[in-house]
Structures are given as structure tokens and as C-alpha cells.
């Protein structure tokens, strides 16, 4: 942004104290910024406002108002009022309390749901900046709201929106950014005092660990989220948690434990899976088939083909590009395990096309990693993109 407004790499380097060569590498995507100390130097050097610092995971700066006393004998000193009015004259900071009600919170929740539905159709590439602004607006209002039921409701809405933004950042390959948004989501969920939302955002954050090779940590956090108040959690959420655990165990190569977790996911899935109190969950029998097929494919089982083909027949007409890309990637892997390389290549090509269309860095990285082939145009971003993939 600074460069777009006329700042040269040399000026940016001078302002932030970062070598010009490194600035060039960061701007081109060859180097990433993950150190909190370096992020703070960038924020300080570019004089970022507090709301931008918060999005980067930094504390806001406290900038005191000008309260310096004039020199003795100065005309302004002699003319300054005394008593309470003198305090008003010198201290100009005001307490701002946001005007929030349940109707406004419902509008925020509706906006989050619209972003969620568009994301499923188009992918995070088109929405990440918009979702970040949405979270920032609620975050600012929360810090200027009065404790009580309205504040708790706003915190719950913020948790859901921040979790969605964390998922979008992960899909865009921005791992550190994703982790920060999930931390915002967990903090808001705790303030909302809603154990359902806290369980969901905590469990979803494990995908950041899963994508960065920390499967053991992911399983530990997921088990904690799953066991805490498990009897009070809705059946749909419990089914989702069991399926997520099955995926983590499959990535660890724990075949028997993965299958047991998935069996429990099918067992507790309600017959009517549409729960209006859980708008963040899109889970039914078809999606569980896809999930089981994904796990079987990761474990190298050719029988994953049946589950994945049945799921594809239901999901493809919905035009959910990212979901279909993931499903076809799994099919390519399953066909490879089965020895049908012609079908494997066909599914991989289609998955690559869908991933390019949705701009999913995460999916392109998965194609390259699982199939041992380079994704089509733009795959360099997968290897060296913003904050790693």
C-alpha cells in the first residue's frame, strides 16, 4: 500500500529499519514476515493506526493528548480558566460508548453469513479484505460497549466472523495471519460465554497446525475441545468434531483410530442436520462421505473412490469450487493408490483448474504436495508465497 502511494523501496527500508534488499524480497513474495518484532518495526515505521496494528496482532499505541503546561507568565497561562472548566480545557479525551443493540448484532451476523456463503462459492481470494474490515468494525465496537447481554452477543458475532476470516487467510496461504484471527475468535468466544462457539473456533484453529506439520499438537487441542462439555454440545457439532479428529488421526497414519472417529461422526449426525443455531457448520451425510473418503485417500486406500464419487455427484451441481477441488484432489490420490493413473491425472487437472479459479493457495499447495506434481500457472506462490503455505 505504501508503495502504491509513491513510497520507494528505499524510503520503506529507511522508515522501517529493514535492509532495502529484504524489503524487495518481502514485496515480491520471496521472503515472508513472521517475526512479531519485525512486524512491529514495519507497523512503527509506516506509522500504522491502532486498528491496523490490532489486525497484525500488535497492541495499540497509547498516544496521550497534548497536556503540556505553558511557560510562566505566558498570555495563555494567564487567560486559562480555573476550576472544573480548566480540567475540561486541558483534558480533551472523551469516553466513547458505542450504541449497540440486538438488532445491530443480527445485521452483523447476517453479513457474516453472506460472506460465508459467497466464500463457499468463490473462495477466500475475493473476500479476505472485506472479511478483515468486517471483523475490525465489530472489534472496535466491542471495546466501546457496555458489559451485559448485548456485549456478549456482539462478542459471539465477532468470534464467528473472526473464525471465518481465519479460515479464509489459511486458504490464501497466510498462516500467521490465520492464527492471529483464530486467537481473536477464541478471545471473543470466551467473552461471549458461549461454549459451543468456543469449541468450534478452537477446533477449527487446529487446521493451522495440521497444515504446518504439527499434527500431534492439533490432535491434543482437538481432543481438549471435544471432551470439554461434550454432553452439552449440539449433536451436529459433536459429529463435526469427530470427523475432524478422524482427519487428524489419518494424517498421523492412525488408521484404526481414524475409522473409529469417523464411525462416531456418522453415528451422532442428526437426521435433520440443518441447525439454525450453528450457521458456521455445513455438514450432512454427503459431506461426511466426502470427509471419510478424504481420510481413506490419505491412508492410501483405493476404496475411498466409492465414497468420493458419491459425494461428488451431490456436490458438483452446487458449484462449490473449493469443496469440489478438494474432493477431486482426494479422488486423484485414491485413483493413484488404485493404480488408475489416467483417472488420477484427469481428476488432478480438474482440481487444479478449480483451485486456480478460486485462488486457493492452500489447495494448490496440497495438489503439489500430495500428488508430487507442480500446480499450473502461479504455483510459485505455493512454494514462496505470503507467510508460507
Residue-wise pLDDT tens digits, 132-191: 999 999 999 998 888 999 999 999 999 999 999 999 999 888 999 999 999 999 999 999
Diameter of the chain by CA atoms?
A: 93
Exposure string over 196-231, b if 16+ CB within 10 A, otherwise e:
bbbbbbbbbbbbbbbbbeebeebbebbeebbeeeee
CA distances in angstroms from 94 to 31, 90, 220, listed in the order given:
42, 12, 46
What's the pTM value of the predicted model, to 2 decimals? 0.67
Specify the 3-state DSSP secondary structure of 257.
helix
| DSSP 8-state class, residue 59 | P
Alpha helices in 274-371 (DSSP H): 285-298, 304-315, 321-338, 341-358, 361-371
| Mean pLDDT value across the chain | 80
Q: CA–CA separation, 159 vs 197, rounded Å?
A: 7
The tens digit of pLDDT for each residue in 283-305 reads 888 889 888 988 988 888 877 88
C-alpha cell at position 369: 504436495
Cα→Cα distances 188→14, 131, 158, 195, Å? 37, 16, 6, 11
Angle CA 266–270–272, to nearest 5: 130
Radius of gyration over alpha carbons of the chain, in Å? Answer: 25
Q: Is 229 left (phi over 0), alpha (psi -120 to 50) or beta?
A: left
Q: Which domains does the chain have, with CATH numbers?
A: 9-55 (no CATH), 284-389 (1.25.40)
Q: What is the pLDDT of residues 104-148, one digit of tens each?
A: 999 999 999 999 988 887 777 778 889 999 999 999 999 888 899
Q: Whose grid coordinates read 515480491?
A: 28
Amino acid at each position: 500500500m505504501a508503495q502504491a502511494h509513491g513510497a520507494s523501496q528505499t524510503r520503506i527500508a529507511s522508515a522501517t529499519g529493514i535492509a532495502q534488499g529484504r524489503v524487495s524480497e518481502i514485496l515480491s513474495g520471496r521472503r515472508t514476515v513472521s517475526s512479531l518484532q519485525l512486524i512491529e518495526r514495519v507497523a512503527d515505521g509506516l506509522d500504522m493506526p491502532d486498528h491496523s496494528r490490532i489486525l497484525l496482532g500488535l497492541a495499540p499505541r497509547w498516544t496521550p493528548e497534548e497536556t503540556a503546561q505553558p511557560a510562566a507568565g505566558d498570555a495563555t497561562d494567564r487567560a486559562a480558566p480555573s476550576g472544573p472548566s480548566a480540567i475540561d480545557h486541558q483534558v480533551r479525551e472523551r469516553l466513547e460508548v458505542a450504541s449497540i443493540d440486538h438488532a445491530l448484532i443480527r445485521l452483523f451476523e447476517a453479513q457474516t453469513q453472506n460472506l460465508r456463503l459467497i466464500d463457499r462459492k468463490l473462495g477466500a481470494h475475493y473476500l479476505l479484505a472485506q472479511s478483515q474490515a468486517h471483523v475490525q468494525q465489530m472489534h472496535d465496537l466491542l471495546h466501546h460497549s457496555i458489559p451485559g447481554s448485548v456485549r456478549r452477543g456482539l462478542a459471539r458475532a465477532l468470534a464467528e466472523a473472526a473464525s471465518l476470516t481465519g479460515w479464509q487467510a489459511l486458504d490464501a496461504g497466510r498462516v500467521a495471519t490465520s492464527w492471529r484471527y483464530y486467537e481473536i475468535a477464541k478471545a471473543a468466544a470466551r467473552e461471549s460465554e458461549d461454549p459451543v462457539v468456543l469449541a468450534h473456533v478452537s477446533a477449527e484453529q487446529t487446521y493451522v497446525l495440521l497444515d504446518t506439520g504439527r499434527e500431534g499438537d492439533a490432535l491434543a487441542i482437538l481432543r481438549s475441545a471435544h471432551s470439554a462439555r461434550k454432553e452439552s454440545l449440539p449433536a451436529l457439532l459433536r459429529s463435526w468434531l469427530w470427523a475432524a479428529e478422524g482427519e487428524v488421526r489419518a494424517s498421523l497414519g492412525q488408521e484404526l483410530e481414524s475409522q473409529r472417529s469417523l464411525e462416531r461422526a456418522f453415528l451422532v449426525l442428526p437426521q435433520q442436520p440443518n441447525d439454525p443455531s450453528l450457521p458456521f457448520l455445513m455438514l450432512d451425510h454427503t459431506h461426511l462421505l466426502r470427509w471419510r473418503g478424504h481420510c481413506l485417500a490419505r491412508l492410501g486406500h483405493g476404496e475411498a473412490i466409492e465414497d468420493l464419487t458419491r459425494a461428488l455427484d451431490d456436490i458438483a451441481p452446487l458449484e462449490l469450487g473449493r469443496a469440489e477441488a478438494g474432493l477431486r484432489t482426494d479422488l486423484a490420490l485414491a485413483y493413484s493408490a488404485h493404480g488408475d493413473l489416467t483417472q488420477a491425472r484427469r481428476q488432478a487437472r480438474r482440481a487444479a483448474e478449480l483451485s486456480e479459479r478460486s485462488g486457493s493457495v492452500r489447495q494448490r499447495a496440497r495438489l503439489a504436495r500430495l500428488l508430487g506434481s507442480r500446480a499450473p500457472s502461479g504455483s510459485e506462490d505455493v512454494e514462496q508465497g505470503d507467510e508460507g503455505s
